[in-house]
Amino acid sequence: MADQIAVADERQWSWWAGAGASPETYTVNEATRDAVIAAGRDEFEGELFTIVCATQGGAFACAPFDDEALVEQVIERFADDNAERFGEDGFDGDINQQALAAALNAAFVAFMDQHGQGVRVWSFTGQRDREEVQP
């Protein structure tokens, strides 16, 4: 039998509460289950609400661009902004659009990893222990 190595989940998990049985949004956030239930009872005043342990953390993932027109706009903008290098005929060359898209996505992920702390994330990247809390 092969050794099994458990990988620790380093994302930050916390408890969230939202109105009703199937919340569109979770608006109450607390560190513990008991704290989110208490805060939910105050917030939702005698109404049913749902709690979930969730995280918004984790690595950003970017698929290559599907829209060739978008990649072409990036190339055209680059050529326009560097017209002195290409002459009056503009950019004339073949660009591997998949490679360009991959490079742009990698740059975005690197940027978010370095500067994304102030970016508000609205959805969860993981959920567990969802339950309804009766009034």
Give the residue-averaged pLDDT of 11-22.
93
Residue 2 has pLDDT above 60, yes or no: no
68 or 123, which is more confident = 123
Q: Could you tell me if 108 and 60 are in contact, meaning their C-beta atoms sit under 8 angstroms apart? A: yes
Side-chain half-sphere exposure of 109, counting CA atoms within 13 A? 13
Q: How high is the mean pLDDT of the chain? A: 83
pLDDT digits (tens, 9 = 90+) for 38-97: 999 999 999 999 999 999 877 666 666 667 777 778 888 888 888 888 877 777 777 777
Q: Could you tell me if 13 and 55 are in contact, meaning their C-beta atoms sit under 8 angstroms apart? A: yes
Closest Cα to residue 133, out of 12, 14, 45, 24?
45
Q: Please, which residues have CB within 8 angstroms of residue 95's CB and are 6 or more apart in sequence? A: 75
Residue 13 burial (CB count, 10 A):
17
Is 0.85 surpassed by the pTM of this model?
Answer: no
CA dist 58 and 5 (Å) reads 20
* pLDDT of the residue at 1: 41
